[in-house]
Amino acid sequence: MTIQWYPGHMAKTKRKIQEDLKLIDVVIELLDARIPISSKNPEIDSLIKGKPKVILLNKSDMSDPRSNELWGHYYDENKQDYIYTNSITGKGIKELITAIEKKMAHVIERDLKKGRINRQIKCMILGIPNVGKSTLINTMAGRASAKTGNLPGVTRSNQWIKVSQRILLLDTPGILWPKFEDPIVGLKLAWIGSIKETIYDREDAALKLISFLRESYEHCLIERYNIDINPSDEDIDIYEKIAQKRGFIQKGGNIDYSRTAEMLLDELKKTKIGKISFENP
């Protein structure tokens, strides 16, 4: 299964970001902690052209703590500023504001010497669709400043939001890149909800999810769905065992594959299967 999704407004957004970057002091790159590689737009680093950057690993409450630790070591070794965040609870926001001010401390000090005492720090938040940008901004600002939604691509226009006395944040719509070179990238983006549901085969995505979980989190499948998994079982066998346990059987005794797929993908999204990470450094 190959998934590609690049709506026309994303190309327009990319051009607008390039224009707005002239105004920006610090870039905040928001990644999904479950897939820090696949949720990183490979075009962003070339777009920002060396501007100071802080990486936020959002939804870190949904990812595997062991994986979070590995990513922490990775970013430390590469001397990259990173913060684990939870856009709903506000975890990591104080650390983010501190990191932004630290990166701009020398500029603020220079401006003070020139008599400019109220210099504001202008930041831009960048990330793929449905990674939690608007929710994070709302939490930072303490009010519903940016429209939020659980569908990829809700934010369509740029807006400035005041998040502290000194910091202004420019929200931008989520942008993907024109082509996923590796098919598994599109699949992982679909699993976390960054791809529009109507453009890919949900049953195929669910079957591939079972294959991944069987290899890396088999205990989660066994515990969540109260099934036995035998070495001889094919992925489809496990799929059908889950369906039978949930009673997803159509008239005539046939498995309701569609309903099972929707349940699996929904329970993954709600962390009911467990805290799952799909990538390690």
Q: Shortest CA distance to 39 belongs to which of 157, 191, 267?
A: 191
pLDDT at 149 over 50: no
Supply the pTM of this predicted model.
0.84
Q: Could you list the residues known to form a binding site, using ranges.
A: 58-61, 86-87, 130-135, 174
Do the domains 201-269 and 8-171 match in fold?
Answer: no
pLDDT at 93 over 80: yes
The strand ranges marked E within the chain are 26-32, 53-58, 82-84, 121-127, 159-162, 167-171
List, in order, residues 6 or more apart from 136 with CB less than 8 Å away. Answer: 30, 56, 58, 85, 87, 93, 125
**CB of 130 closer than 8 Å to CB of 152:** yes
Which comes out higher in pLDDT, residue 196 or 273?
273
Instruction: Please name every residue paired with 125 in a beta bridge, in sequence order, or none if there are none.
Output: 28
Pairing label, strands 159-162, 167-171: antiparallel
CATH 3.40.190.10 for the 201-269 domain, yes or no: no
Phi/psi class of residue 128: alpha, beta or left (left: φ > 0; alpha: ψ in -120 to 50)?
A: beta
What is the model's pLDDT at position 100?
94
pLDDT at 12 over 90: no
Architecture of domain 8-171: 3-Layer(aba) Sandwich (3.40)
What is the model's pLDDT at position 91?
93
pLDDT (tens digit per residue) in 228-240: 999 999 999 999 9
Give the pLDDT mean for 162-190.
75
User: SS3 helix, strand, coil % of the chain, rounded to 5?
Assistant: 45, 15, 45
Q: Could you list the residues known to form a binding site for GTP, using ranges.
A: 58-61, 86-87, 130-135, 174
Looking up tokens 């983006």, which residue turns up? 189
pLDDT (tens digit per residue) in 47-62: 888 899 999 999 999 9
Q: Shortest CA distance to 13 belongs to which of 135, 177, 160?
A: 177
pLDDT at 136 over 60: yes
Q: In angstroms, rounded to a whole number, what is the distance separating the alpha carbons of residues 126 and 133? A: 8
Widest Cα–Cα separation across the chain: 81
**CB of 108 closer than 8 Å to CB of 119:** yes
Domain locations along the chain: 8-171, 201-269
Where does the pLDDT of residue 21 fall: very low under 50, low under 70, confident under 90, or very high at 90 and above? confident
DSSP 120: P
Q: Shortest CA distance to 224 belongs to which of 271, 278, 259?
A: 271
